[in-house]
Structure formats: structure tokens, C-alpha cells
Amino acid sequence: MNYIGLTVGGYAVTSYILLKNPTILHLKKKFRPARIIAHRGGAGEGTENTLTAFRQAVELGCDMLELDVNLTKDGQAVVAHDNNLRRLTGKQSFITETDFNNLPQIQDKVPIDFLPGEIYVSSGINPEERRFCSLEEVLDRFKCQINIDIKEKKERLVEEVDRLIRRYGAQERCVWGSFDGETTDLCFRKNPEVGLFFSAPRLLLLMILFYTGLLPFISLRETHLEIPMLSLFLSPKYASSESTVSFGKLPHFLLKVCNYLLLNRSLIKHLEERGIPTYLWVLNSEEEFEQGLSSGASGIMTDYPSRLKQFYHKINLN
């Protein structure tokens, strides 16, 4: 009995020491953390995932552009969240069934996913401001950090994104992956030099490792932890028929428990010291910004980067 107690005690002490001093076993990751991350380029301040939105975000001083990619019928990586184009264009068509040059124009009113019931209305009269762009255009024009969400579980799409990242020498400023585990595994195998965020299965594994005390002993391939602040989805607006965010349909008890487990300051601090920043999505109000920063997160994804910048200025985090 004493032997078991000593073993468990020794394990607990060693785990705690390594949790607080992670660089004893692990080299610190090389990627630079971002504080202001423009979700889809800033979907509340520009037509989402367009060159105009990205340009505005970069000019504002955003550290990172977050975007989504799908593969067109003719094999181009197009920047768009939805394969089904009804929400964006008003037309029932699919990116995967359309050549890049035949993609319809984005309509001037686009619902904002993370503000159910609210719509971004474009004030621009130039049709160019509401056209779909390619990932190549983004990598060519903007030299900031770029966060790439692979929306389809297709090897061809991963290969095309990898080709473009290599062509523009963007391995050290790009982060990629997917909520889907197989897609993220494929990304890592294709190019381990590109930053990688946790997929859903790997996030679950991370939680198990942390709460069993094993995490300090385990190497991680991921370079970024990007997680939702689940307390957001307790709002009734996310349970409404207008909401496209599935988290809002989950039981409130489950959301509260998972939010508590995910936003553990010790976990976030440990990962930060290993060079793995935590980014929270998608926060759009000052109250949400305050909650996000109180968790110790390194950065925030937002549809309103100008609001977040003003908030940082207000609290003297310029």
C-alpha cells in the first residue's frame, strides 16, 4: 500500500513540476502568437472571405487572417466557408460543382454566422468587392499570418493548399487544419512544417492527457489551440432557427461543463510556455473580449477586428 502511495505521489509531483516547467522536456514551438485574428477577414466589417475584407483587416493592423477553403470543380482552392452557396449568393449551387470563373457574385447582404439574426450589408458599389477570391491571391497579396480552415475532407484540396503554401514560401506564417481528424492528419503528413491546430479528436485527447496528468510528459505535433468559448452559445439567439452554429443546440449543462474544462488557465498557460498559443472564437463584444482574456488566451478571433483593437487600446494592451 505504501509503495502504491509513493508511486502515485511521485507521479503527481513530477507531473506538476513538468506542468509548470514544460521546457524541461519539450522544445518551445517557433510560431509567433497573434492577438487580433480577423475571422473570415472580419465578417461584420466587410463581405466575408473577400480580398476587400482581408485588405481592411491588414490595414487595421490585424496579426492574422482566418479563412476557409473549398475546392472548385476545376481544382482551384477558393476562399469560402460554405460549399452550398445559398447563404452567400442566394443561389442553390455548390462550389465543388462549379468552375472558379463561373462562381456567382456574393450578394450585398450576408448573414453573420456568429451573430444570429444580424446581417452584413455591403456599402460598396464595385462588384469586385463581392467576388470570391482564390487562396493564391491571398497568399500573394498579404504577408501576415494566415489561418487556413480546410472545409472538405479531400486529399486534392490538401495537396493544392500545400502546393500554394510552398510556392509562396509561407510555411512559417500559415496555420492549417480542420475540425475533422482525418483531414488534419493528412495536413500534417503532407507538410509538417506548416503550423497545425487541434482537430476535434486531438482536442479530446488533449483534455484526457491534461486531466490525467500525462500532458507534461507527451510531445505535441500541434502548434495552435483554437477553441470556441462555449459560454457564448448559452444565449437564446444561438438556439433560434436563424442560427447556423450547431453548438447553440447543445444542452446548456453540457456547454457549461465543457467550457469550464476547456478554459482552464493552467492548461492554457502550460501550452503557452510550450509555444502553443490559445485562440478563442468567435468573440464580438467587449464583454466577450473581457471573458476571453480572463482565461489567459493569447488571441481572439472576431468578426469585428476594429472593436477588438479599440478594446485592447482601452485596457492599454496596444
> What pLDDT, in 10s, does the model give residues 199-248?
999 999 999 999 999 999 999 999 999 999 999 999 999 988 888 899 98
> What is the tens place of the pLDDT at every residue in 173-213?
999 999 999 999 999 999 999 999 999 999 999 999 999 99
> Per-residue pLDDT tens for 83-105?
999 999 999 999 999 999 999 99
Residue 10's pLDDT is 87
**Domains (range + CATH), the chain:** 33-314 (3.20.20.190)
Sign of CA dihedral 301, 173, 267, 244: positive
Residue 213, CA atoms < 13 Å, CB-side half-sphere = 10
Any residues with CB less than 8 A from the CB of 202 and at least 6 apart, and which? 181, 184, 222
What mean pLDDT value characterizes the chain? 95
In a 10 Å sphere around its CB, with 0-12 CB exposed, 13-18 middle and 19+ buried, how is residue 169 labelled? Answer: exposed
Helices and strands (DSSP H and E) totals, the chain = 11, 11
> CA distances (Å), 288 to each of 51, 203, 291, in order?
27, 22, 5
Q: How sure is the predictor about 1, in pLDDT bands with cuts at 50, 70 and 90?
A: low
Percentage with pLDDT > 90 across the chain:
89
Report the pLDDT value the prediction gives residue 88, as an integer from 0 to 100.
96
pLDDT of residue 125: 65
Handedness of CA 185, 187, 189, 193 (dihedral sign): negative
DSSP tag of 65: E
Query: Could you tell me the sign of the dihedral formed by the alpha carbons of 170, 171, 173, 177, in that order?
Result: positive
Which residues neighbour 174 within 8 Å (Cβ) at sequence distance 6 or greater?
A: 145, 146, 147, 148, 165, 194, 195
Name the phi and psi angles at 258, rounded to 5: -65, -35
Cis ω before 282 (30° cut-off from 0): yes
